[in-house]
Amino acid sequence: MATGQLFSNTTQALFYNYKQLPIQRMLDFDFLCGRETPSVAGIINPGSEGFQKLFFGQEEIAIPVHATIESACSAHPTADVFINFASFRSAAASSMAALKQPTIRVVAIIAEGVPESDTKQLIAYARANNKVVIGPATVGGIQAGAFKIGDTAGTIDNIIQCKLYRPGSVGFVSKSGGMSNEMYNTIARVTDGIYEGIAIGGDVFPGSTLSDHVLRFNNIPQVKMIVVLGELGGRDEYSLVEALKQGKINKPVVAWVSGTCARLFKSEVQFGHAGAKSGGEMESAQAKNQALREAGAVVPDSYEAFESAIKQTFDKLVEEGKITPVKEFIPPQIPEDLNSAIKSGKVRAPTHIISTISDDRGEEPCYAGVPMSSIIEQGYGVGDVISLLWFKRSLPRYCTQFIEICIMLCADHGPCVSGAHNTIVTARAGKDLVSSLVSGLLTIGPRFGGAIDDAARYFKDAYDRNLTPYEFVEAMKKKGIRVPGIGHRIKRGDNRDKRVELLQKFARTHFPSVKYMEYAVQVETYTLSKSNNLVLNVDGAIGSLFLDLLSGSGMFTKQEIDEIIEIGYLNGLFVLARSIGLIGHTFDQKRLKQPLYRHPWEDVLYTK
């Protein structure tokens, strides 16, 4: 492996298996370091394509998303690092696929628990093809002031504290990602910071070893000293011992192998990593530390003395003129995300939507403050749910029953009315359910089903002003306005609409007052004296009876009643009800596999 520097301030990566936080942390690090281009060139999310929006400093950018490794590598030929956030189940296969791409040079495998046999195959392929594997079970690595992998070094605050936004003089390698973060801080306190840091991962068979990276560091001119943090278990550190003995490393190495406390336990102990388990005396921390010391590394007597050993080595290099400490500067401020700023109370932001009818933030959704479990447990019906979501209160049972009756009676009126006809024609044209439904709903208006609000509005105005039916009808006639809720194309005075009769019967039985309905009946009596088809239709019945519901229940103020009528609540009832029938007509035509509809020319009057 050897060679030299892995990353630079122009290195770009492909990120496998989209994770918003580690990618954003990489981009924030880029901005902190003054990079001109984002370090994430593309995202690979198997089966998905498009873009993901993220921030590069203050600017929002769109990073391409690719469905396959091959397409991503083809689209971004200069991206030579593959950061694999796949689970342990698929990490090996996706990593091998990446290694086989000619553009990929470094693969970092984050997942723990990758089968050892799979890891061995990855290692063999990488070594045979002069490629580098970092991990599995790694947090990654970092080139100070240039590039970092995923969550390496943690938060921006920690990165700034560890001076990772600019290069130092120390090369650092460790098995542990968590301890790497700790050591970045330690090194920054007593030196000018790290130049490059790598966590090789804690598995038994890491893709690259401690000595692989130490030998690399030895070839990097900017690295003046090397710090190594090993651990008990395995024999990786002994390859470093051999390299030291053979004179392959000519830079100071300060090392410590953790796990010396293992001897305090009576039986063998498995520490956090899969590889952190002593398999004999040679794999003990004490034996490794002694071997490193004898090979020429600076090895302290304890972990507590590790920091001072690093400091002494660094100070000596400064005194010898081999290191000119980096001049410090203040890095740019990373803009804080709005959500975190709001949480911390630093800013206040206006909301974009107001909702008073439902809330989905708690353990269960609530309708007008009533939890979903209560709605089910108390046996609420559709009318009760409408009363909560439309009127923001629980109406008496007779009110919600009336709402349900209206829905049932208005659900459909056959295939010949304009709404159903439109829906049928659209469904037969092969359109989907929503398109077919909407084509029918768009016919609802003053001439079809949309007169309920107008009927309620005009009946209420006339009744409240004490107009007689004669005065009301004749005043409307003078204005050239048909009385909404009066008149039917089929029904007559001697053939009343059964739906109207059912609604009136229910209201007379259950409503405390039906004054508006009775007024509408009086108007009907007068209009029938003019023409036998000027009967009270279902729009007029619902409109007048809803006035009685609103005023008679005692739960609405006059202002609220006026607002309900003005907004269009009552037409909403017809829209909701008729949607049931229109959906039924759509399904009916689809089920019958009806062909495209063409209106017969015999039914068209062709004229000049």
Catalytic residues: 273
User: Which residues, 6 or more positions from 250, have their beta carbon under 8 angstroms from its beta carbon?
Assistant: 218
Q: Residue type at 48? A: S
Residue tagged 């803009």 (tokens): 335
Q: Are 549 and 397 in contact (CB under 8 A)?
A: no
In terms of Cβ atoms closer than 10 Å to its own Cβ (0-12, 13-18, 19+), residue 90 is middle
Q: Which two tokens stand for residue 347?
A: 């800013």
Helix, strand or coil, per DSSP, at residue 353: coil
Cα diameter, the chain: 119
For residues 561, 566, 570 and 576, what is the CA-based torsion angle, rounded to 10 degrees? Answer: -130
Q: Is 173 strand, coil or helix?
A: strand
Q: What is the DSSP string of 302-342?
A: SGGGHHHHHHHHHHHHHHTTS--PPPP-PPPPPPPPHHHHH
Residue 107 neighbours by CB under 8 Å, 6+ apart: 81, 82, 84, 95, 98, 99, 122, 126, 131, 132, 133, 134, 135, 207
Q: What is the DSSP letter of 166?
A: S
Residues linked to residue 366 through DSSP beta bridges, in sequence order: 359, 371
Token pair, residue 589, equals 């035509």
3-state DSSP call for residue 433? Answer: helix
CA nearest 88: which of 117, 60, 50? 117
Centroid of chain to Cα 549: 43
Q: How far apart are CA 71 and CA 90, in angstroms?
A: 18
Helix (H) or strand (E) holding 216: helix 210-218
Could you tell me which of 315, 129, 143 has the C-alpha nearest to residue 216? 143
The dihedral through the CA atoms of 506, 511, 513, 519 has a sign that is negative
One DSSP character per residue, 451-499 reads -HHHHHHHHHHHHHTT--HHHHHHHHHHTT---TTB--SS-BTTB--HH
C-alpha to C-alpha distances, 369 to 355, 400, 478, 560, nearest whole angstrom: 12, 18, 48, 20
How would you class 534 by CB atoms within 10 Å of its CB: exposed for 0-12, middle for 13-18, buried for 19 or more?
buried
Q: Which tokens go with 152? A: 């390496």
> What is the C-alpha to C-alpha distance for residues 409 and 504, in angstroms, rounded to an integer?
13
Is it true that the peptide bond before 136 is cis, omega within 30 degrees of 0?
A: yes
